[in-house]
Structure 1
Amino acid sequence: MLSRVSRAVLMTALGLPCIVPAVQSAHAALGGSPLTPPAGAAVHSQTVSSSAVAHAASGVASAASAPSSYTVRATTYDGGTVVREYLAQDGTVFGLAWSGPQMPDLNALLGTYFPQYLAGVQAVRAARGGHGPVAVEQDSLVVHSGGHMGAFAGQAWLPQALPAGVSGSDIQ
């Protein structure tokens, strides 16, 4: 027999695709290649240099530091939810962020890391109980997710896959 916490986590995981049909399947799988955005979604990409970000924050410029660039690809869904993919130079998704009125399908976003995320959520819920924002912070996966109806936000990243000069706080 499943515990109350296990049932709640399972029902949440199974119910997300049913509750949020307007966001449909997300277009990125953490640790893999970006997927094709759904029809009707607006996509914008920007290349970022991590050393430029670090130097701008510190006010220091150095010709000796080798820049590490990555691409941020933002997709705005019809319902207004924005999912940002953080792509390494080889095209691998190392981070994700989302915000908007509807929760994206975390199963699709997290890909093969989704079971690890569910186990982390279950452990957090068992330790502190209740509902609300969840922070799963493990050596191989970090996911912060929270919000309420009409305003959801979160970030997920793979600490070992972050490019040089990029930290989890850059995933926004």
Structure 2
Amino acid sequence: MKGILIAGAAAVLGFSALPVWAALGGAPSWPDAPRTPGTRLMAAANNAAPYTVTTATQESGTVIHEYLDARGNVFAVSWRGPRIGSMDVLLGGYFPAWQKGLAAVQASRGGGYGPVAMRNGDLVVETGGHMGALTGRAWLPLALPQGFDASQIQ
């Protein structure tokens, strides 16, 4: 069952061996990650809500954003591109909740693949797109900074 679930997640989200820079709920991982040629890192602050967005563009063209609160903890991540890194790395300790939620969504629609919107009290994950053009975002609703709206996660 575990192998099927992991295979399902891989098919839905397009696993790759490329590095991922963030893990939900912890410190950003990109400062310690090995740099790959073509990777750009940028940061931008927002004055309305105390958060920072860092952006990494991988060689494949995939753009990964991580959203950090004032303490430097990652409260949201998003991705757009032909591939993403391993969801277990991207979601960190929230990966088991994602596996359980993905299984429930797939069971509710009788199996198959496609966009997924998984929500529980601790975690929200939305994925979509198609092969070669994947998008998604994940966030921790209880960790959003005051004044931050989830629609800002791009």
State the structure with more CA Rg: 1
TM-score (normalised: structure 2): 0.88
CA positional deviation for 1:25 = 2.6
Equivalent in the alignment of 1:57:
none
Distance 1:86 1:118 in 2: 22
Q: In the TM superposition, what are the counterparts of 1:13-52 in structure 2 within 5 Å?
A: 13=9, 20-21=16-17, 24-36=18-30, 37-39=33-35, 40=37, 41-49=39-47, 51=48
CA positional deviation for 1:19 = 5.0
TM-score (normalised: structure 1): 0.79
Structure 1 ranges of 4+ moved more than 4 A: 13-16
Residues 72 and 85 in structure 1, CA contact (< 8 A), matched pair in contact too: yes
* Long gaps (5+) in structure 1: 52-67
* Long gaps (5+) in structure 2: none
Q: In the TM superposition, what are the counterparts of 1:123-162 in structure 2 within 5 Å?
A: 123-129=104-110, 130-162=112-144
Judging by fraction of residues, say which structure has more helix. 1
Which sits farther off after the overlay, 118-127 or 34-43? 34-43
Aligned residues: 148
Residues 9 and 102 in structure 2, CA contact (< 8 A), matched pair in contact too: no
Q: Percent identity?
A: 42
Equivalent in the alignment of 1:74:
55
Residues 27 and 38 in structure 1, CA contact (< 8 A), matched pair in contact too: no
CA positional deviation for 1:113 = 0.1
What root-mean-square deviation, in Å, do the aligned CA atoms of Structure 1 and Structure 2 show? Answer: 2.0
SS at match of 1:78: coil
